A and B are shown apart, each in its own frame.
Chain A
Amino acid sequence: MVTSTAAKVKVDPRDAKLSMAHFFVAFSALALGGLMGLLQTLVRSGKWELPWGIDYYQILTVHGVLMGLVLTTFFIMGFQYAAVSRTTGGHSNAARRTGWIGFWVMLVGTLMAATMVLLKEASVLYTFYAPLKAHWIFYLGLTFVIVGSWIDGAAQIMTYARWRRNNPGKPSPLLSFMAVINTVMWIIATLGVAATVLFQLLPWSLGLVPTVNVLVSRTLFWYFGHPLVYFWLLPAYMCWYAIIPKIIGGKIFSDSLARLSFILFLLFSIPVGFHHQLTEPGIDPAWKFFQVILTFMVVIPSLMTAFSLFATFERYGRSKGARGLFGWFKVLPWGDARFIVPFIGMAAFIPAGAGGIINASNQMDQVVHNTIWITGHFHLTAATSVVLTFFGISYWLVPHLTGRKLTKAMNKLAIIQGWVWFIGMAFMSGAMHFQGLLGGPRRSAFSTYGGSEQAAEWIPYQIAQAVGGTILFLGIILVLIIFVNLAFFAPKGEEEFPVAEAENLEEKAPMVFENWKLWLGIAAALILFAYTIPFIDIIQNAPPGSKGFQTWSKW
């Protein structure tokens, strides 16, 4: 689909190999995790049962771990590694070696955890809340995944640091800056989950300590759990801010404001975990509310992002002679999968964000907490906005890395894929939202709850979810066909890695944005402010610890 004849800058082939290695893992996770998702919706429709003693909660664990942790982390690391390579002129041998080590450590960890899940030794879902006690190899595998991602991320930071040394006084390339912000946020956030796994769950599952402090473990998990979703989202924002403008033929509205919004995400994504724990005992409501306020601070960079994107679209449209209030909308490149697939994701973010505001609001959360509304919510944010953008990225990045081209036929198939996803998700996520408002719980197999009238009202929504899930699975098959085509079979050629320029090249981003001591200092201060006192409270007022339980079905 690329018609531009401008000089193309390529990702170094040696870096391309590492990125592609990440993508093979990510898309394998998508295939298997997607199948599990389909099976779940079929079971919950009440019309079908799992064969061969496979357990609903086992496949739910597989789906959550593969989609939420494996697909996302591998895709993001692969994409960011390529983006840094593309915008800084390539990784050094040392950085590349670091990246490979990180990749293998993550992969080994993934396989360890996956083995335990398949053996029914770890049907604890991807949130693994204590005192459900999985096999120690599961926790060790998770540790490997986290540590591997740190090593993998270090490769990006090394290359960024080298670029800064070689270009003193200059703001770093926008995409590299954004990738490093996301990696740094990820490292700070994963300290929480690493702490609970290493110091609580691993020793406890090995039998070294008899009990675990449940609330400390949950609090550390959610310290990580919310920035996790921003770790998914920011690579999508990288595409929306810095890549989409180039695809449509426009410019970045403001380079400096894009950087500012990423810094705000770094600051306000982390000290907010209590909004996942609003209905929990043992946490003071004043501290819950304080973190609710911090949670809502991300509204500001989100508004900035929405403004920038639509400003870019409108300015491009007007430069093409579009008139009227919305004339610019029509001239956007609706026939280009690289644009429209992420655009559907952007549009989904409007209702998704509105739902998020409900979830994080102190009292309203009581209506929807742990209902299937929440599942519907993150299937709009993560499984539509983020994932469709990732698909949109892969439709040019994979051929760019493999030296092939996105053909007209594949472009068409990719557009169909985007719409199939939209329709499937409208059914599935829509039905989940409605059922959740009626009280239907998330993470539950089919049940009539003893012939309850209320539960009977939920069943039609569950059937709608199975319909949506089936359509989405067709969407996944299309993605896989396109991915395999672009990786192995598409005609050889040059596919562009689009990187947009700012509208105003005169205006240099202020160097204070690259002052990591400052931003890390503020981030640390906010985290300490939001967590220190309630965390001490939780530890000081702790009840006796919990011994472990294995309440799931075993082989």
Chain B
Amino acid sequence: MHMHKLERIWLIFGTSCLVIFLTVIGVSAFYLGNKPPSCLTTVNPETVGQEKPFNEPGLHKVDGKDWEYELVFVASTFSYSPAQVEVPLGAKVKVIATTKDVIHGFEVAGTNINMMLEPGYISEYTTTFNKAGEYLIVCNEYCGAGHHLMYSKIEVVK
């Protein structure tokens, strides 16, 4: 099988770019810790409302951890609990969320917080809120008739 010289150059160039690209992504994920949300903890979706930390949705100050606050959300058709929450500016926050029923999305518009909520699984993402203002949380996975009415708000305050 014959390969034209220019095609060989083209493919070597393209494949080298690909290797560099994948290395950058890999280093970013596993050395710098920018992995997509992939929490492996499970929970019983039927009793999630009685279990810690989901029995008390909202912002909680924590001590002795790598983050200062835990922000707990419980999703169910077609709302999030809490429906609105205030977060201090510059706080390092671990967002912990799950769903009581069907699959929901958890996207904080304008940030990198974007994760799937699946029944039986806990989704987590740690981030710092560096800009004051109101952030909209939208459900970005179809969950039924009121899917587009499902939202919550994070107010980042000084």
Within 8 A of B (CB), among A334-379: 357, 361-363, 365-367, 369-371
- State the interface size on chain A (CB cutoff 8 A): 78
Contact check, A543 vs B121: say whether CB atoms are below 8 A apart. Answer: yes
> Whole-angstrom distance from the CB of A453 to the nearest CB of chain B?
7
Query: Which of chain A's residues have a CB closer than 8 A to the CB of B140?
Result: 369-371, 441-444
Contact check, B139 vs A132: say whether CB atoms are below 8 A apart. Answer: no
> Whole-angstrom distance from the CB of A329 to the nearest CB of chain B?
17
Within 8 A of A (CB), among B27-41: 28-30, 34-41
CB nearest neighbor in A for B34 = A363
Query: Which of chain B's residues have a CB closer than 8 A to the CB of A52?
Result: none
Contact check, A260 vs B1: say whether CB atoms are below 8 A apart. Answer: yes
CB nearest neighbor in B for A213 = B120
A288-B36, A441-B105 known; A57+B120 contact, CB < 8 A: no
Contact check, B38 vs A288: say whether CB atoms are below 8 A apart. Answer: yes
> Whole-angstrom distance from the CB of A361 to the nearest CB of chain B?
5
Cα A504 to Cα B35 in complex, Å, equals 48
Cα A453 to Cα B133 in complex, Å, equals 10
Contact check, A366 vs B118: say whether CB atoms are below 8 A apart. Answer: no
Contact check, B29 vs A362: say whether CB atoms are below 8 A apart. Answer: yes
Is A304 at the interface (CB under 8 A from chain B)?
yes
Query: Which of chain A's residues have a CB closer than 8 A to the CB of B147?
Result: 57, 443-445
Contact check, A303 vs B107: say whether CB atoms are below 8 A apart. Answer: no
How big is the B interface, by class? 35 or more
Query: Which of chain B's residues have a CB closer than 8 A to the CB of A454?
Result: 109-110, 134-136
Is A281 at the interface (CB under 8 A from chain B)?
yes
Contact check, B121 vs A311: say whether CB atoms are below 8 A apart. Answer: no
Is A296 at the interface (CB under 8 A from chain B)?
yes
Cα A134 to Cα B11 in complex, Å, equals 47
Query: Which of chain B's residues have a CB closer than 8 A to the CB of A549?
Result: 77, 101-102, 144
Binds A, one of B15-23, B52-60, B61-69, B86-94: B15-23
Query: Which of chain A's residues have a CB closer than 8 A to the CB of B43?
Result: 543
> Whole-angstrom distance from the CB of B28 to the nearest CB of chain A?
6
A256-B1, A260-B1, A363-B28 known; A279+B46 contact, CB < 8 A: no
Is B151 at the interface (CB under 8 A from chain A)?
yes
- Which residue of the partner chain, among A57, A439, A541, contacts B138 with CB atoms under 8 Å? A439
A365-B36, A452-B136 known; A371+B107 contact, CB < 8 A: yes
Query: Which of chain A's residues have a CB closer than 8 A to the CB of B120?
Result: 214-215, 542-546
Cα A286 to Cα B45 in complex, Å, equals 26
Query: Which of chain A's residues have a CB closer than 8 A to the CB of B34?
Result: 362-363
Contact check, B36 vs A362: say whether CB atoms are below 8 A apart. Answer: yes
Query: Which of chain B's residues have a CB closer than 8 A to the CB of A282?
Result: 38-40, 42, 118, 121
What are 16 residue pairs bridging A and B, where the CB atoms are less than 8 Å apart in the complex?
A55-B145, A215-B120, A218-B118, A280-B121, A281-B118, A289-B29, A299-B18, A311-B4, A362-B35, A370-B105, A370-B140, A371-B107, A439-B138, A444-B138, A545-B120, A553-B145
Top-3 shortest CB links A-B: A551-B144, A543-B120, A439-B109
